[in-house]
């Protein structure tokens, strides 16, 4: 590949980032500024112009999708295949290192990775073994505590807590959980990073090997790194590797899950002679959208500074719609979508973004009524589906009989007469002897101490697993899965379920067989572990990738967090109210408020041509109607860039004439002061009516429930004569 080919289509700043001397570089890449293109071109430059071997380059991404895209683009750019180049996520790369050095990491050769659900199951079992009340010590709380400590690089022995109180108990759960994982030969996602960091830190010869190997390290989405990820990069780089970090402090929106925006701000202090390059030219949005986003983000104090610009069109003003309530807001969004489609637009060009998933319900109902096809982005993921996890648990137990999480999931599924009492006996024995549940089952069966019925059922399960292991040894991966699904009874179990659920679940386990077959074909020949183990690791690491079809035409619904990295010609950002966005909690913490503003910035910069911002004056939350003022983020946008539309409520004074009721549009059939009855709210008096036709609203003061605004078409009010 020629120099000209590598640099083709790059602007001045992009070219500077790609061709910068071999050293530490921080690329502040604004939204839509072509950072993926820069990263790929930089790797090509290092190989072709700096003559680095692909073997000496490490590229770290945050999603498997991004890693795959990077590899595909590189193979398209370079004349020879990129062999030896390590491209992957933090978790994927750490998994690779731990497989290679499992002995030094104090792990079994064929260790398994626990996903979030598996981890929760194990923590639940630990809480039970510690005789703690699960109501008082919820699994989610303990899970968050454990993962939070691991993300900070802190083992139980390094946690500072009072000798009493909740902190002490959570620490005990953490310690017991670590012991349980070590016994079972399993690790969780957070452990992948922490264990790898410790492996490199405590084994100088291994660390020196990789420091000598990797001359260049490239990290994408650097603003999303947490403490242990940052420490891992620093440790691996040492003093000599050239680190190129690409990120945007204005798009740091994952503080709630441990990401530290401070890492990108600290980079130039921790990595010597850092060159900072800003990518500010945007290839996505109109000038109006960019100018508004720039104005918004300047209200954050702790930022490195950057102004997006485009040489593209100015574009139309941002539409700001003030709705009466969330129903009105959803109706308006649907009307605008229909207008776009009727004018030749496509549904798949449109996205509706919201702060929390709970906001989707009203929007979904409105879209259904309007006959607009939609999809919730980020529904239940393929490898997270219960039936898929059931099959994989059987597979895990075949390759590692000591996997307690897998054992507990399938020992009595499908039901085979093994009750909780039997399982409790196994757990107590396993705890006392510091062994796995499988070993406990084998030992207790051999001793003859178990009740006949329970012993018989447990014995059949053990025999089933051993039979499956023997029968599938010489089979291909997809054939192994087919046999497991049939002989375990899973296929028969799901076939018995009535209706669509049965079909859906059977389709999913069939798709798992297809996935295994595809995995077999795509797997590299030099894979260092057995195919079945590689597939199980793949399933754990890939959990989170979107599995829905990409070619159907539908409106995309998603949270603002899910929207990061995506773009759409038309974007609706709904729920722009104080207490909703920004949320109530963020209003109490200045740092949180800045992250909320960054989230708004991310949402706005998803839009390419049109951006619509909306809010509701009244929104039903927590079972009651709440009045909100518009979001401060709206008020921080330049007025000249906005086209504001607001429903003017025709409020009428609740003064009732003694002689004659006020006239109301005949279509409503109601008069001011008229007594009405509602099925839920009981008796009330009409105070005001606004709108016409299907959108007529009525304000009623109910005796027991106060003043309510109701959409007349859905209220079903009974008039008292």
Q: What's the chain's Rg over C-alpha atoms?
A: 30
Which residue among 13, 14, 25, 35 is the active-site one?
35
The answer to whether the beta carbons of residues 294 and 308 sit under 8 Å apart is: yes
Strand 86-89 vs strand 318-325: parallel, antiparallel, or unpaired?
A: unpaired
Residue 35: active-site member? yes
Residue 133: active-site member? no
Which residue among 118, 151, 221, 542 is the active-site one?
221
Which residue among 606, 610, 697, 708 is the active-site one?
606
Which residue among 251, 281, 286, 310 is the active-site one?
251
Please list the alpha-helical segments (H only) found in 107-240.
Answer: 116-129, 139-151, 166-184, 189-202, 204-213, 227-237
Tokens of 553: 């035409």
Nearest one of 691, 681, 683 to 711, comparing CA atoms: 691
Nearest one of 46, 26, 15 to 215, comparing CA atoms: 46
Which residue among 16, 19, 36, 50 is the active-site one?
36
Which residue among 188, 220, 349, 387 is the active-site one?
220
Task: From residue 94, give the alpha-carbon distance in Å to each of 53, 264, 341, 598.
Answer: 21, 21, 46, 30
* CA dihedral over 278, 603, 378, 75, signed as positive or negative: negative
Tokens of 30: 């604004």
Residue 220: active-site member? yes
CA distance 325 to 616: 5
User: For residue 485, what is the DSSP state?
Assistant: H
CA distance 627 to 632: 15
The answer to whether the beta carbons of residues 709 and 698 sit under 8 Å apart is: yes
Cβ atoms within 10 Å, residue 551: 5
Only one residue has tokens 């108990």, namely 169
Task: From residue 301, give the alpha-carbon distance in Å to each of 309, 346, 592.
Answer: 21, 39, 12
Nearest one of 573, 28, 503 to 296, comparing CA atoms: 573
Task: From residue 680, give the alpha-carbon distance in Å to each of 328, 393, 675, 677.
Answer: 21, 47, 15, 9
Residue 221: active-site member? yes
CA distance 208 to 236: 9
Each as own residue / partner, the long-range contacts of residues 488-496 (CB below 8 Å, 24 or more positions apart, any chain) are 488/391, 488/394, 488/410, 488/414, 488/464, 489/414, 489/416, 490/387, 490/390, 490/391, 490/394, 490/414, 492/414, 493/413, 493/414, 494/387
Residue 699: active-site member? no
The answer to whether the beta carbons of residues 396 and 536 sit under 8 Å apart is: yes
Residue 124: active-site member? no
Active site residues: 35-36, 220-221, 251, 606
């Amino acid at each position: 590949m020629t120099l000209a080919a590598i640099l083709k289509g790059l602007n001045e700043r992009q070219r500077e980032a790609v061709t910068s001397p071999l050293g530490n570089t921080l690329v502040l890449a604004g939204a839509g500024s072509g950072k993926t293109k820069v990263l790929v071109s930089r790797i090509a430059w290092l190989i072709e112009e700096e003559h680095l071997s692909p073997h000496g380059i490490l590229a770290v991404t945050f999603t498997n999708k991004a890693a795959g895209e990077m590899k595909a683009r590189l193979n398209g750019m370079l004349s020879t295949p990129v062999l030896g180049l390590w491209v992957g996520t933090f978790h994927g790369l750490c998994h690779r290192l731990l497989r290679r050095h499992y002995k030094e990491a104090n792990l079994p050769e064929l260790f398994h990775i626990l996903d979030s659900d598996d981890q929760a199951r194990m923590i639940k079992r630990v809480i039970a073994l510690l005789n703690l009340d699960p109501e008082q010590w919820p699994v989610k709380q303990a899970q968050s505590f454990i993962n939070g400590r691991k993300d900070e690089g802190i083992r139980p022995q390094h946690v500072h807590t009072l000798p009493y109180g909740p902190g002490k108990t959570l620490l005990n759960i953490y310690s017991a959980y670590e012991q349980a994982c070590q016994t079972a030969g399993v690790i969780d996602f957070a452990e992948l990073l922490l264990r790898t960091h410790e492996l490199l830190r405590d084994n100088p010869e291994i660390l020196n090997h990789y420091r000598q190997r990797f001359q260049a390290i490239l990290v994408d989405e650097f603003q999303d790194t947490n403490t242990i990820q940052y420490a891992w990069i620093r440790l691996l780089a040492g003093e000599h590797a050239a680190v190129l970090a690409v990120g945007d402090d204005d798009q740091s929106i994952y503080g709630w899950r441990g990401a530290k925006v401070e890492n990108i701000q600290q980079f130039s202090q921790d990595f010597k002679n850092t060159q900072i390059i800003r990518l500010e030219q945007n290839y996505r949005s109109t000038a109006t959208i960019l100018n508004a986003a720039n104005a918004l983000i300047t209200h954050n104090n702790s930022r490195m500074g950057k102004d997006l610009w485009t040489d593209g069109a100015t574009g139309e003003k941002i539409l700001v719609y003030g709705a009466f309530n969330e129903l009105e807001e959803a109706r308006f969004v649907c009307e605008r979508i229909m207008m776009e489609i009727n004018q030749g637009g496509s549904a798949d060009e449109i996205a509706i973004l919201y702060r929390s998933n709970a906001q989707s319900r009203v929007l979904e109902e409105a879209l259904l009524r309007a006959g607009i096809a939609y999809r919730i982005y980020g529904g239940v993921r393929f490898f997270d589906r219960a039936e898929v996890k059931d099959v994989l648990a059987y597979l895990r137990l075949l390759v590692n009989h000591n996997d307690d999480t897998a054992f507990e999931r399938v020992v009595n599924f499908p039901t085979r007469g093994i009750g909780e009492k039997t399982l409790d006996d196994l757990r107590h024995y396993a705890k006392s002897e510091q062994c796995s549940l499988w070993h406990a089952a084998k030992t207790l069966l051999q001793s003859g101490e178990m009740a006949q019925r329970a012993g018989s059922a447990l014995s059949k399960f053990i025999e089933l697993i051993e039979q499956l292991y023997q029968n599938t040894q010489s089979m291909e991966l997809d054939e192994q899965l087919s046999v497991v699904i049939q002989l375990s009874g899973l296929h028969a179990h799901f076939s018995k379920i009535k209706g669509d659920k049965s079909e859906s679940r059977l389709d999913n386990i069939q798709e798992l067989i297809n996935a295994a077959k595809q995995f077999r074909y795509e797997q590299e020949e030099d894979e260092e572990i057995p195919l079945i183990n590689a597939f199980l690791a793949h399933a754990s690491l890939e959990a989170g990738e979107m599995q829905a079809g990409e070619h159907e035409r539908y409106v995309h619904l998603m949270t603002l967090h899910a929207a990061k990295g995506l773009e759409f010609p038309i974007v609706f950002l709904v729920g722009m109210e104080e207490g909703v966005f920004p949320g109530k909690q963020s209003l109490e913490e200045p740092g949180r408020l800045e992250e909320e503003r960054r989230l708004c910035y991310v949402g706005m910069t998803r839009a390419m041509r049109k951006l619509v911002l909306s809010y509701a004056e009244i929104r039903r939350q927590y079972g009651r109607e709440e009045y909100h003022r518009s979001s401060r983020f709206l008020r921080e946008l330049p007025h000249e860039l906005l086209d504001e539309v607001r429903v003017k409520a025709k409020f009428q004074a609740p003064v009732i004439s003694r002689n004659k009721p006020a006239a109301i549009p005949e279509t409503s059939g109601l008069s001011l002061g008229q007594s009405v009855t509602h099925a839920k709210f009981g008796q009330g008096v009409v105070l005001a009516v606004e709108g016409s036709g299907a959108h007529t609203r009525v304000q009623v003061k109910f005796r027991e429930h106060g003043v309510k605004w109701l959409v007349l078409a859905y209220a079903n009010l009974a008039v008292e004569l």
